[in-house]
Structure 1
């Protein structure tokens, strides 16, 4: 999809130093949970942009992405996003990415830090479709706790771990290795490495996981 301008519908806090931004869905735009878009704007005469993974279960009318930030660090684009308000216009391009939810019978999402955005989106979509879901999320400052709690009340397995806790036991609890089960991994490189090790320890196939490395 070519770059297209759209409008911010809402901005809200979703945890420590994190916000979710809802955008109005442009005509003809569709994205599946797990795909990502490029958000861009012009700052001091230069076009600046970054990629963000969709954190809403669908793109009906609006769609969401989640931003976590370090208040002691950041640049012009981070400042732009942190000051964005409902009614502002932004430019999006996409969607991008081939590792997304495709109506699998059971989804197991392993998420580190900001990877919780696509994790809750995929789990919510799977459950709405009548499929099974499980989340293992590691973060010292959890985001989207209300959505995680709601997902857990449906009977889905949700593990929230601190940064110091290993993934091994939780992954072993949620991974069935049955036909129709799909593992997703979202996080930074060190988390992906830990997740792959945990999958292998649980008898799974890490190379078959759908994964996005945030850097």
Structure 2
């Protein structure tokens, strides 16, 4: 009876480890696949989204490997919650409408900004940190907006006044289910932070 328990324990642990691994692989694939839901050119994940996708695929592949050393397996399991968070957030944030702003960074390199967008009677609006808007020189620039599979020229107009910033943020929380869910568990602000700004996307003249 004791021998049976000793044999069952490692096998059960291996099955559990393998299950976690396959789950991570599914999340990693989802990070890339979810972007196919949006019309227009494919937007390659970058930054935290790319970290979550590639990290989930890498750790998942390790955990389903039958020859994985036990110590390495425990390290992979310990790192999996961080990777899982980035991967799930990257996937969920793309389930609803997301647009791309094609801009340039401070070094003049092309950059694609993936953003949530809301509509008001006075136009289309996005929000972001003030530092990000400055880094990409968005205020008054001519940039390309990809929305609904169509690319058009827009000129972002930066607004820092708190009533406008708060109103745009509130519209985002109202529109996006993942924003409401993340806000409920403290992972997304219910109200606009002091560092946030809003940008109205005016059509290019």
Q: Tell me the TM-score normalised to structure 2 length.
A: 0.28
Q: Tell me the TM-score normalised to structure 1 length.
A: 0.27
In terms of fraction of residues, the more helix-rich structure is 2
In terms of fraction of residues, the more strand-rich structure is 1
